[in-house]
A and B are shown apart, each in its own frame.
Chain A
Amino acid sequence: MSDNEKDWLVDRLRALGTQPVDPATQSQHLTEMATAAVDRAQRSTFLGRVGRRVQLGAAVAVGVLLGTTGLATAGALGPLQPIAARGVEAVTPLNVPGGESRGKSAEAKLKAKGFEAEASGVERVTEGCEAGISTRNRGQYLKGIREKYGNDSAELTAAKASRCGMPVSSEGTPGTDGESTEADASKAANANKGKSDEHKPGTAGDDNGTGKPEGTPGGKPEGVDSNGKAASSGAPDTAGKPADTPGDVDDTSGKCAGGTGFVPDGQPDCAAGS
């Protein structure tokens, strides 16, 4: 195909695109276009205005949520968190933490210092007790004295003779039921293990008022077999079971379930045959 023929064909094709539109058809189309354009412009303006407000509101809400969540997580919300907690608790049955910052309740302060006993409602003997040492329970008090003054100090002996940390409702009298002698004997037996026999969490000084025996697992006293019975029969301890496992003393009745050699606070001395 020559260039001349090609140009002629292209000219014929271009002529197809230059034929005018019928004026009536053109007028009809322009009317339809104007209607569609105005409708679309009005709708887009309205939607744009509303949409921008919605977007702005959503951005503010998300910002406040993220900011307050971050502050609450960092514990730096100031007095707002307790106020918010009280407000939520007032209208809902939910238990909302009061936060760790300023304005926290007395209960929260006690918990923060380790005085859960006071917070839990079990009233303990605090009269004549060493200031600054927890009276959360008997074991914690003796532990505090021991850590402060040492194992052989006179303060520890005096603390053992006192009723500090014991429940006010308890009737036991330290120092009169052989606590010091029996406990010291067991302590001497466990001295090689380097463990305290009175202050293991969950065993000694249980603050629930059940009076579980003081002592640590493995802290078996001399003269006590694995079943918690007195070793008067001379049977060797082969099971290796800790002698002071819970259950040796009937917590509810206070009766002896077996002679452990330990004298729990306020509990009868089973080894003494009480």
Chain B
Amino acid sequence: MSNHLTYGSWVIGCNTCPVHAAGDVYRELAPAVLGYLRAQRVPDPEDVLGEVFVQVARDLAGGRFSGDEVALRRWVFSIAHNRAMDAHRRRTRRAAATPPPDPAPVTVQHDDPIDPTLVAALATLSPDQREVLVLRFVADLPLEAVAKVTGRRVGAVKALQHRGLENLRKAYPREPLGR
């Protein structure tokens, strides 16, 4: 990631700067956020991605963010995390109203441009482990940032990461896929 993602000073005194800044943030972080949303099995991840970055653009224009690159990445993924939770709640309410015809908890999305087997393997993990692995490696956040986003201590994040990788290795074996 380049160093031009220090947007705090851009926002002040320039009405059009936030637009450009938000565009740069989108181009830099949108793939990771989309991967995060897909790995979290959020329904309609592209729509949620749009909601996340509209919120980012609005907050940048309002001068609500200032900080370095890591802080920006953590802030964007905090917004994505909240939006993902909202989407899951919406889906849960909708499912409670109309039960889905297919009760299978894990379904492989074959039309997904990313590795569907990996997404399916991630779905077998516990929500905590999946959350930590996705934030840690898909979003590329450091341990401290993951701890802040998820509201856990760093030691707990390390433990969840370790157990998550163990379980993912079992659910996503290397040899059969020939990789």
Contact = CB atoms under 8 A, between A and B. Distances in A.
A17 B26 contact: no
Interface string A53-89: 0000000000000000000000000000000000000
Interface of B: 15-16, 18-19, 22-23, 26-27, 30-32, 34-36, 38-39, 46, 49-50, 53-54, 56-58, 60-63, 113-115, 118-119, 133-134, 137-140, 165-166, 168-169, 172, 174, 179
Among A5, A25, A29, A38, which residue has the most Cβ atoms of chain B within 10 A?
A29
Interface centre among A22, A41, A44 (most CB of B within 10 A): A41
B165 A22 contact: no
Given A33-B22, A34-B19, A44-B63, A13 B49 contact: no
Nearest to B33: A17
A30 B26 CA distance: 8
Contacts of B30: 21, 26, 29
B97 to A, nearest CB: 29
A17 B140 contact: yes
A200 to B, nearest CB: 75
A15 B140 CA distance: 11
Interface residues of A, number: 34
A36 B61 contact: yes
Contact of A13 (B26, B57, B60, B118): B118
A-B pairs, 10 with minimum CB distance: A33-B57, A17-B32, A13-B137, A17-B35, A16-B35, A40-B61, A37-B61, A37-B57, A17-B138, A41-B61
Contact of B118 (A12, A21, A28, A45): A12
11 contacts: A5-B169, A12-B179, A13-B118, A13-B134, A13-B137, A15-B115, A16-B36, A19-B113, A20-B31, A37-B57, A41-B15
A35 to B, nearest CB: 9
Contacts of B168: 9
Contacts of B138: 13-14, 16-17
A260 to B, nearest CB: 88
Contacts of B62: 40-41, 44
Contacts of B134: 13, 16
A5 B169 CA distance: 8
Contact of A19 (B22, B35, B140): B35
A1 B26 contact: no
Given A1-B165, A26-B26, A36-B61, A17 B53 contact: no
